[in-house]
Chain A
Amino acid sequence: MDFTLLLFFLLAATAVATALGLLLSRNAVYAALFLVLNFATVAVFYLLLGAPFVAMTQVTVYAGAIMVLFLFVIMLLGAEKLPKGEALPWQRPLAIGAAVILFAEAVYLLVQRVRLTAALPDPGTWENSMESLRQMAGMLFTDYLLPFEVTSLLLLVAMIGAIVLTKGERAVRS
C-alpha cells in the first residue's frame, strides 16, 4: 500500500468520524466544530486532487466565514444545549432505512453506471502552478461570465433578505 492510498484512507476515516460526531453530538457548538474539522479534511482531499485554489477557498469561505457565522448565531441565541426532546418513535428507524436506500442508489449510480476503475492521474506541478490558476480564472470570466454575474445578484438578494428579516422583527417587537 503506497503512501497516497494510506493518506486517503486516514483522511476518509477522519471525514466520516467527524460527520458522525456532527450527527450524534448533543451540543451545537461541538457539532459546529466537528463540521469545521470535516471541511478541513475535505480541503486536504482537494489538495490531493490537484485543486489548491479550491482547497484554500474551502478553508477561508467554508471553514472560516460560514462556520464563524454559525458559531456566532449559536452563541447569540444561547442555543448550545440541545434538549433531548421526544422524537416520534417511528421516525429514527424510518430515517435510517431511507438513508440506507439513498446510499445504495447513490453508489449504484456513481459506481456501476460511471464504470471508471482506472486510477486518477496524480496532480503534477502544473496543477499547482500560477499558470493553471490563470487559465481557470480566464474560463470563469469568459465561458462562465453569466453565472458569475448572476452570483453577484444572488449575494445581493441574500444580503438584503438577511437585513430585512432581522430588522423587521425588531420593528414588530417595539
Chain B
Amino acid sequence: MIPLTYYLVLSAILFTMGALGVLIRRNALVIFMSVELMLNAANLAFVAFARQYNAFSGQLFVFFVMTVAAAEVAVGLALIVAIFRVKHNIDVDQMSSLKG
C-alpha cells in the first residue's frame, strides 16, 4: 500500500535530524541520543528494504545494529560518567584538553 520511497524519505529525514543534533547540540548526552536517532533511521530503511525484497537479511541486520548500539551506549555513558567526575560538566566545548 505504502511505496518504499515514503519510508526511505522518512528515514532520510530522521537521519538528517540526528546529524543536525550531533552538529548543533553541545551536551554530550544529547549528542549521544542524536546518534541513536541516526542508527534508528538506518534500521527503518533496513526493514523497509527487507519488506520490499521479502528477505530476512534486512531484519537480521537490524538486530546487529541494535547490539552495536547497546554496546556503544554502555561504553559511551561510562565515558561520560568518568568525564563528569573530573570536570563536573559534560559540555563538549569543555573537553578541549587531551590530558584530563
Contact = CB atoms under 8 A, between A and B. Distances in A.
A95 B29 contact: no
A117 B75 CA distance: 41
Contact of A28 (B27, B34, B62, B86): B27
B52 to A, nearest CB: 6
B17 A70 contact: no
Contacts of A103: 12-13, 16
A42 B26 contact: no
A86 to B, nearest CB: 9
B78 A19 contact: no
Contacts of A15: 10, 14
Contact of B4 (A65, A82, A116, A147): A116
A109 B36 CA distance: 22
B94 to A, nearest CB: 10
Given A65-B70, A69-B74, A76-B81, A49 B33 contact: no
B2 A119 contact: yes
A120 B51 contact: yes
A158 B15 CA distance: 25
A74 B21 CA distance: 18
A50 B12 contact: no
A154 to B, nearest CB: 5
B82 interface: yes
A89 interface: no
Nearest to B83: A169
B20 A48 contact: no
Contacts of A4: 1-2
B95 interface: no
A41 to B, nearest CB: 10
A161 B64 CA distance: 19
A35 B32 contact: no
Interface string A85-112: 1010001100110110011001100110
Given A23-B25, A110-B5, 16 more contacts: A5-B2, A22-B37, A32-B33, A58-B43, A73-B77, A99-B19, A99-B23, A102-B16, A106-B15, A110-B45, A114-B8, A116-B3, A116-B4, A120-B51, A136-B60, A140-B60
